């Protein structure tokens, strides 16, 4: 396994973490908690904490979810590190897993620092508001979509288990 290839993926994960933490630092230093600044007719810059996971899942729990999601992010990141070593030649797979790892670790840092994740991007239209999110969430989402695409395109063609769509 060429270490330079593995280093490239870890470097990308580190870049996601840095961009995530830098963007959250900007929010923490420019907005007060609960502030919302209208940027466009469909986008607000906000400062909220999410004590749960995606879409505030388990946010109403008394605090155990902080440690659960932190340990989950660390465990998934460890598994991704192992997967990267096993599949270095598969660029899309490595790219998608790296985005997920960088996002998971970016949000884990928040959970350790604040007990919650800093969210600041709010998209809305016609009175409907999508839950606020951040750079780490975006990286996880893009990584998950690319991972699904990578797996779908590998699926054997119906009736011929030896072929795959490339």
pLDDT, tens only, 85-131: 999 999 999 999 999 999 999 999 999 999 999 999 999 999 899 99
Predicted structure pTM score: 0.87
In this prediction, residues 132-154 reach a mean pLDDT of: 95
Whether 134 maps to a domain, the answer reads yes
Catalytic residue among 60, 110, 137, 162: 137
Whether 161 maps to a domain, the answer reads no
- The neighbour count for residue 61, using CB atoms within 10 Å, is 12
Whether 116 maps to a domain, the answer reads yes
Whether 162 maps to a domain, the answer reads no
Q: Known catalytic residue: 162?
A: no
- Determine the length of the chain: 166
Mean pLDDT over the full length of the chain: 90
Q: What is the pLDDT of residues 43-70, one digit of tens each?
A: 999 999 998 777 677 766 767 888 999 9
Catalytic residue among 20, 35, 110, 119: 119
Whether 54 maps to a domain, the answer reads yes
Q: Which has the closest alpha carbon to 137: 121, 151, 149?
A: 121
Calculate ∠ Cα 14-110-17, nearest 5°.
10
**Domains identified in the chain, total number:** 1
Whether 88 maps to a domain, the answer reads yes
DSSP characters over 129-160 = EPPPB-HHHHHHHHHHHHHHHHHHHHSEETTE
In terms of residue numbers, what domain contains 107? 3-31+39-155
**Distance between CA 82 and CA 94 in Å, rounded?**
11
Query: What pLDDT is recorded for position 134?
Result: 97
Q: Known catalytic residue: 150?
A: no
Query: What pLDDT is recorded for position 59?
Result: 63
On the question of pLDDT at 160 being above 60, the answer is no
Whether 163 maps to a domain, the answer reads no
Whether 140 maps to a domain, the answer reads yes
């Amino acid at each position: 396994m060429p270490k330079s290839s593995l280093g490239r993926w870890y470097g990308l994960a580190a870049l996601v973490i840095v961009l995530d933490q830098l963007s959250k630092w900007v929010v923490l230093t420019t907005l007060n908690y609960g502030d919302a600044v209208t940027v466009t007719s469909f986008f607000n810059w906000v400062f909220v904490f999410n004590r749960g996971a995606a879409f505030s899942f388990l946010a109403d729990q008394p605090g155990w979810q902080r440690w659960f999601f932190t340990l989950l992010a660390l465990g998934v990141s460890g598994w991704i590190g192992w997967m990267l070593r096993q599949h270095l030649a598969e660029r899309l797979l490595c790219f998608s897993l790296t985005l997920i790892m960088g996002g998971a670790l970016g949000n884990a840092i928040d959970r350790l620092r604040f007990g919650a994740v800093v969210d600041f991007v709010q998209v809305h239209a016609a009175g409907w508001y999508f839950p606020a999110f951040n750079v780490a969430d975006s990286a996880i989402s893009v990584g998950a979509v690319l991972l699904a695409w990578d797996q779908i395109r590998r699926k054997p063609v119906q009736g011929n288990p030896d072929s795959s769509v490339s």
